[in-house]
Structure 1
């Protein structure tokens, strides 16, 4: 049995205007995760991701690096209740 979890991840730094959301969607899809990614008004990026714990851990580790042009200063995460997403999408 796999360990299914859901994480809310907030990524801070230079993460808007650097294709961070697009790269997050691509990484999450490769990892088999579902959820959303969106820019917040404070300049950070919010990721809600659901899937196997190992895949979530891989996404979380990737967030410290981010997209090629991003400069990540901090990553915060918490476990949340699953929403039941069917895919991984970018919220505008």
Structure 2
């Protein structure tokens, strides 16, 4: 399993982007979390296979109809924890 820390910038807060991300993660069997950051970006920690994470990233790059994704920063990270689901953090 691969764990990635992803930061998405653009019009991604106040447009249902975290909920969209959670739905896509559940669709692909990806675990972890997503949260808004104070700087207007959305941060997530995702765990899955390379194949499912690639598909997930393709979907979150497109975003939902209300969001505009300008940039995605992706960094591989050491497994922090073994997540059982994909949560929206507040």
- TM normalised by structure 2 equals 0.95
- For 2:83, the equivalent position in structure 1 comes to 85
Q: Tell me whether 54-63 or 5-14 shows the greater mean CA deviation.
A: 54-63
The alignment yields a C-alpha RMSD, in angstroms, of: 0.7
The equivalent position to 2:58 in structure 1, one of 61, 66, 70, is 61
- For 2:15, the equivalent position in structure 1 comes to 18
Q: Tell me whether 35-44 or 76-85 shows the greater mean CA deviation.
A: 76-85
Deviation at 1:47, TM superposition (A): 1.0
- TM normalised by structure 1 equals 0.93
Deviation at 1:58, TM superposition (A): 1.1
The equivalent position to 1:34 in structure 2, one of 31, 35, 38, is 31
Q: Which runs of 5+ in 1 are unaligned?
A: none
Deviation at 1:60, TM superposition (A): 1.3
| Number of residue-to-residue matches in the alignment | 89
Q: Which runs of 5+ in 2 are unaligned?
A: none
